[in-house]
Structures are given as C-alpha cells and as structure tokens.
Structure 1
Amino acid sequence: MTVSVLTRAALVGAGAIAVLGPLTATNAVAASSDAAQGPAQVLAAPYVVEPYETVNVRKGPSSQTEKVGSVPKGQPRGAYCWTYGETITDNGYTNNIWVQLVEGYVSAVYLKGDERGGLPVSAKC
C-alpha cells in the first residue's frame, strides 16, 4: 500500500490532535501581567500549564533568582519540563518541583494539576 505525502501529513496531524487534543482559542491564548505575550507563548512548548493564582516567573528554580515576569491566575502558559528546586510552601501545599516555561520557571505549587503541574513524569528537564 502506498501513502502519498499529503496523506501522511494528514495522518500525522490527526495523530497529534488525538494525542494533544484540539487547539482552541481558549487554551491557545496566554498573557502576562508584565507584558502581553500572545498565543506563541503556549504554542512554542509541548505542554500547557495553568496557575490557580498569579505566580511569579523566575530565572531559575528558586524564589531567590531574579523575577522575569508573572502569569495571571487562569492564564495558560507553554511549558517544557519540570525539575527539582527550592521547596515552596503556600496555601497548604509544599513541594520542590518547578516547571520551566517559555520565559522562565514557576513553582508547581501554584499550578493546577498534580505535583508537577500536570506534566508527565517523563518531562523531567
């Protein structure tokens, strides 16, 4: 059986939608309270995380590193991976996992989902 290049592209695209789900305007829009970043901030990374309250974005996985921005409550943001860093305790949660976004790191304590902000175990940096 031969499959044309266009058919292969369509099958690959369909597979990506099946794995990742459809991309909608709701989950593609991302904004920063420091500067508008647009949909590219979500689309540029393989995962999407969402904070349940406004969270500071840092240069590294520690509250002692420079603040480079923030993500408002409920705004999706593109994420690459998770790593261990400073232990943060807030709102009754404690953990030492930080998620690397397009623009820096955020503590997973402030993200919806599990202890990794919904990223899979295999997404370790």
Structure 2
Amino acid sequence: MAAPSAPESTAVPQAAAEDVVRYPVAPGVRLNVRTGPGSQYRLIRTLPYNVKVPVYCQKPGETVTGTYGTTNLWDNIADGEFVSDAYVNTGSDGYVAPRCS
C-alpha cells in the first residue's frame, strides 16, 4: 500500500493560535511528526527531547499505544503536522482541542 504524500490542510485561525495550550511530550521520547493522522503518512521531522507542543486541533486516525495509553487521536501541532496523542501529556483521554476540519 502506497503511503499518502499530500499534506492535509489544517490551517489554524490566527485567533486560535494566540490561545493555544502547549503540552509536554513524554519524557525520553523523540516524537515523529507526520503529514497526517497515522504512521503511513510521510515523516516530516522528529521532535527533540523535552519539548512542549501546541495542539491546535485533533482528529481520529491510526490507533497507537504509547506512554500515555492507547488512542486513535492525533494532535495537529502546525499546518499539516500531526503527532500521536499517545505521547503527549494532555491530561485527558479525550479531545482537549477542537476537531480538525
């Protein structure tokens, strides 16, 4: 199966960008950033250790088991950039941001 290569548009309104909350990535984890909500999407970059990421919106995708449990939620951290919520300490098993359109 070929990996999707076109990034998904997840433009963030300017007002939302100012109010966004940053959440810590799990300790000792260098988290992969992908173009969509799953490991089949193209890898864009890998985050360094001990970073906090903004969560502009979230969407369901591939189920991942990580430091903070098993989830199918993926966090949009920039336009066209997603990380698995299983490695982001949001303090919740559910949505903490609006659903991505």
Q: Answer yes or no: same fold by TM over 0.5.
A: yes
Q: Is the radius of gyration larger for structure 1 or structure 2?
A: 1
Q: Is the 8 A contact 2:25 2:52 kept in 1?
A: yes
The residue aligned with 2:41 is 65
Name the structure, 1 or 2, with higher relative contact order (CA <8 Å, separation 6+).
2
Structure with bigger helix share is 1
Look up the equivalent residue of 1:109 and give its one-letter code: A
The residue aligned with 1:28 is none
Look up the equivalent residue of 1:100 and give its one-letter code: N
Runs of 5+ unmatched residues, structure 1: 1-43
The residue aligned with 1:115 is 93
Structure with bigger strand share is 2
Count of matched residue positions in the alignment of Structure 1 and Structure 2: 79
What is the root-mean-square deviation in Å for CA atoms of aligned residues? 2.2
Percent identity between the two aligned chains: 29
The residue aligned with 1:49 is 23
Q: Is the 8 A contact 1:57 1:70 kept in 2?
A: yes
Q: Which runs of 4+ in 1 moved over 3 A?
A: none
Residues 10-49 of structure 1 aligned to structure 2 (within 5 Å): 45=17, 46-49=20-23
Q: Is the 8 A contact 1:51 1:72 kept in 2?
A: no
Tell me the TM-score normalised to structure 2 length. 0.66
Counterpart CA distance in 2 for 1:69 and 1:101 is 12
Residues 92-103 of structure 1 aligned to structure 2 (within 5 Å): 93-102=69-78
Look up the equivalent residue of 2:48 and give its one-letter code: P
